[in-house]
Amino acid sequence: MRCEALQVDFSQPPWALAAPVVAGLTAAGHVVVFVGGCVRDHLLGRPITDLDLATDASPDQVEALFERCVTVGKQFGVTVVLVPGGEVEVATFRSDEAYIDGRRPTGVVTATEEVDVERRDFTCNALVLDPVRKQLRDHVGGLADIEAKCLRVVGDPKARLEEDRLRVLRGLRFAAHLGFTIEPATEQALRSVATTGLSRERIWEEWRKGVSDPCRSRWVCLVNELGLGSVLSPLLATADLPSLDHLPADCPSLSALAATLAATEPEALAAWLKTEPISREWRRDLPWLVCHQHPATWDSSLAERRAKLLAPAAASLMPLLVNREDWPQAANLHAEFTHLSAHRPQPYLTGADLIALGVAPGPQLGEILAALWKAQLAGEISDFSTAKEHAVALAGL
């Protein structure tokens, strides 16, 4: 075991969020340490987004110490303690019983700190930071791997990935996000371990996280290198994912997902998405975004172009266009969208206006409204008066 003294002010953010939990467990005589991503990111000088604690206290003991707890993971030794300003996950030191579904253990048993870290996924995520002793403890060689910027599985790579096959996708995301190279035995396991049995919800979540990261291009390269596009979608089974270099760093996940699907046929994509566990809006918007990030779909009239730029998904399309050096018109479309968003046109006439003019409710009324809107977008109608004249002519009044 490698130990190092570490000067950390645990009374300051972000550590201060967990201070009440650390104090409560320590006062009760329990060992409590920070584990996982927060320790890794602190050592790398990266922002810390989640604080996870591990302790020798059982879930029942944790519950008894704190008034506000959520015990959704109690069977796996996990308790979420609600504190002012957020929540802190507290896991009991444990070892896993057998994995039979390639995702979760059948159960857990209490263990020591040393045994607990042996069950974690990658060495960079298996470091322990003791807030009482202000000591960093490394039982698995994680410090050396962080210093070498190397992603390595804890223990036997193939066995550890087969326990929880989601670790295959998580490994690619960690490597891309951290800028780490993948240790050869770990890479071989990432290539060979099947991802069958993973829920589509978890795969979509990893996909979303991968493309939401500013290092998304590196992630796409890794997915292609390891031939895992088909895990994301059967539509990507035979085609490389496109480069995402043109996307802005803060590109929304919906836009970035559309970029990864740029080579797919919108109709085939729409048919596949009907079976996927995503929102109704994403099921509607992803095929539209895939279609309209290609130049040929904008060879249309002024009215049709403006109608597209006013569509619900148009805002999500803009990050796909803004840095397209290979498509000169993209900058013009972005500028036109910005103008239309700031001065969003409204129809000069409503259905009530048409009825007042003598148009009977029914299909014809809807057709006239659509024709008026198209003429307005084309610049053929510029005010209420010309819109009224146009409506009278269309209705034959």
> Average pLDDT over the chain, rounded to whole?
92
**Whole-number pLDDT of residue 105:** 52
Give the angle subtended at the CA of 327 by the CAs of 324 and 328, to the nearest 5°: 100
- Which DSSP letter does residue 105 get? B
The answer to which of 9-23, 36-50, 233-247, 340-354 has the lowest mean pLDDT is: 233-247
Q: Name the band, by pLDDT with cuts 50, 70 and 90, for residue 240.
A: confident
- Average pLDDT rounded to a whole number, residues 354-362: 91
**Whole-number pLDDT of residue 102:** 45
In whole angstroms, give the CA distance from residue 143 to residue 102.
28
**Whole-number pLDDT of residue 74:** 74
Query: Do 356 and 321 form a contact (C-beta atoms < 8 A)?
Result: no
Enumerate the domain spans of the chain. 2-142, 259-342, 351-395
Rg (CA), the chain: 28
User: Is pTM, for the whole model, over 0.75?
Assistant: yes
Counting residues of the chain whose pLDDT is more than 70, the rounded percentage is: 96
Phi, psi (deg, nearest 5) at residue 109: -130, 150
**Whole-number pLDDT of residue 104:** 57
**Whole-number pLDDT of residue 18:** 97
- Amino acid in the structure at residue 230: S
Q: Give the pLDDT confidence of 25-67 residue by residue, as tens digits.
A: 999 999 999 999 999 999 999 999 889 999 999 999 999 999 9
In whole angstroms, give the CA distance from residue 230 to residue 239.
9
**Whole-number pLDDT of residue 103:** 47
Fold (CATH) for 2-142: Beta Polymerase; domain 2 (3.30.460)
The answer to which of 217-226, 319-328, 372-381 has the lowest mean pLDDT is: 319-328
158: Cα separation from own chain's centroid: 26
In whole angstroms, give the CA distance from residue 144 to residue 151.
11
Query: Do 49 and 87 form a contact (C-beta atoms < 8 A)?
Result: no
**Whole-number pLDDT of residue 196:** 86
Indicate if the pLDDT at residue 186 is higher than 60. Answer: yes
Name the more confident of 107 and 71: 71
